[in-house]
Structure 1
Amino acid sequence: MAEQKTDGIDTNPVTVALQRVYVKDSSFEAPNSPAIFSGEWRPNVSLNIATKTSELGDGAYEAVLSLTTEAKQGDKTAFLIEVEQAGVFILKGLQAEDLQRALITFCPQQLYPYAREVVADMSTKGGFPALQLQPVNFDAVAAEAIRRQQQEQPAQPDAAPEASH
């Protein structure tokens, strides 16, 4: 449908709005407790981040930010926290490229503070100090993923046969 203008006013503006935030799934494991509580607390913490999106219709999208955080004390796992922080976003009036960028950077960026809070809360409730995850630049993460994907493509065999000249 073409944009409609009434007296110079755009009636189809760009809309980018967060409608709802919720924890879709979460888990906490402390497989070596209570023995892991003895000694000095100097964990090695790893963080894995993944995102996925799905279209819900009428400009609504669900974005899910998955965080997997593991704290190890030496070679023993102190705790493992998995969180799927989700949100429903309204994204209307965006060009395809801008919509894609919003889904892979803007939406996860909005959800991340909520997921960080869940991780800190779960680590505390598990008997450990609150784990304060560092901020993440999702624009840089997306750019790095695109760069890696472009580097891997030449190494993969071509799916289509070469055109003869």
Structure 2
Amino acid sequence: MADGNGNGNGDASQADAAPSINAMVQYTKDFSFENPNAPRSLGPQDKPPNISIQVNVNARQVAEADFEVNILLEGSAGEGAALLFKFELDYAGLFRLRNIAANDMHPVVMIECPRLLFPFARQIIAEAVRDGGFPPLYIDPIDFAALYRKRLSDAAATAPAPAS
């Protein structure tokens, strides 16, 4: 029997109502690492390579409370004939979100879920680059909130103006 001070069955229902994000599973959907100029590219270089990295986040709802979230990381070191390596990683996770307000759902899926996935994707890339014969490439942390705001801003800028 529950008493008025929060002990008893009331605690369980309060815990059940707390917002939660659970990573059900994480996985590599697709991965490619290319070292097209090896072994020549593995020798000393005249100058540091130009490193380019792009990131994209996508999500889709797969069940009432479940979302698949993908981080697509593409990058390269060097350019043209001096290309050292390039990679493409599509890393995903299945997340179960509970008790999150409808207006908060999209930001949580597009910011918090990729934030949980990123360290694992970063490690996969670092190890692949190292296994390719180069020093590991540790990608700097990504500000997924800023990425989300930019995506919203870009979408608003390309949206057609409402008809008067």
| Short-chain TM bin | 0.7 to 0.9
Counterpart check, 1:37 vs 2:39 = no
User: 1:27 pairs with 32, 55, 58, which one?
Assistant: 32
For 1:34-91, what per-residue CA distance to the aligned partner results, in whole angstroms no more than 9, with x for missing partners?
1212332611111111111122214111111110111115752211111111111110
Q: Which residue of 2 aligns with 1:61?
A: 67
Identify unmatched segments of 5+ residues in structure 1.
Answer: 1-5
List aligned pairs for 1:7-18, cutoff 5 A: 7=10, 9-10=13-14, 11-18=16-23
Residue identity matched to 2:113 = C
CA distance in 1, matches of 2:10, 2:115: 37
Q: Is the 8 A contact 1:42 1:73 kept in 2?
A: no
Deviation of residue 31 (structure 1)? 1.2
Structure 1 CA distance, aligned partners of 2:140 and 2:17? 38
* 2:86 alignment partner AA: L
1:119 corresponds to which residue? 125
Partner of 1:3: none
Tell me how far apart the structure 2 counterparts of residues 131 and 91 of structure 1 sit (CA, whole Å): 32
Pick the aligned partner of 1:70 from 72, 76, 83.
76
Q: Distance in 2 between matches of 1:96 and 1:131?
A: 38
Task: Give the structure with the larger helix fraction.
Answer: 2
Which of the two has greater strand per residue? 1
Residues 151 and 55 of structure 1: CA distance in aligned 2, closer, same or farther (over 3 Å): closer
Which deviates more, 142-151 or 131-140?
Answer: 142-151
CA distance in 1, matches of 2:79, 2:144: 29
2:137 corresponds to: 131
Paired with 1:58 and 1:148, the residues of 2 have a C-alpha distance of 28
Q: CA deviation at 1:7?
A: 4.8
Equivalent AA in structure 2 for residue 39 of structure 1: P
Distance in 2 separating the partners of 1:129 and 1:7 = 54
Normalised to the residue count of structure 2, the TM-score between the two structures is 0.83
Q: C-alpha distance in 1, partners of 2:120/2:51?
A: 19
Q: Which residue of 1 aligns with 2:154?
A: 148
1:127/1:100 Cα in 2 relative to 1: closer, same or farther (>3 Å)?
Answer: same
State the alpha-carbon separation in 2 of the partners of residues 52 and 151 from structure 1.
20
Q: What amino acid sits opposite 2:35 in the alignment?
A: A
Question: Which residues of structure 2 form unaligned runs of 5+?
Answer: 1-8
CA RMSD of aligned residues (A): 2.1
Measured in 2, the distance between the counterparts of 1:51 and 1:139 equals 11
Q: Give the alignment's TM-score, normalised by structure 1.
A: 0.82
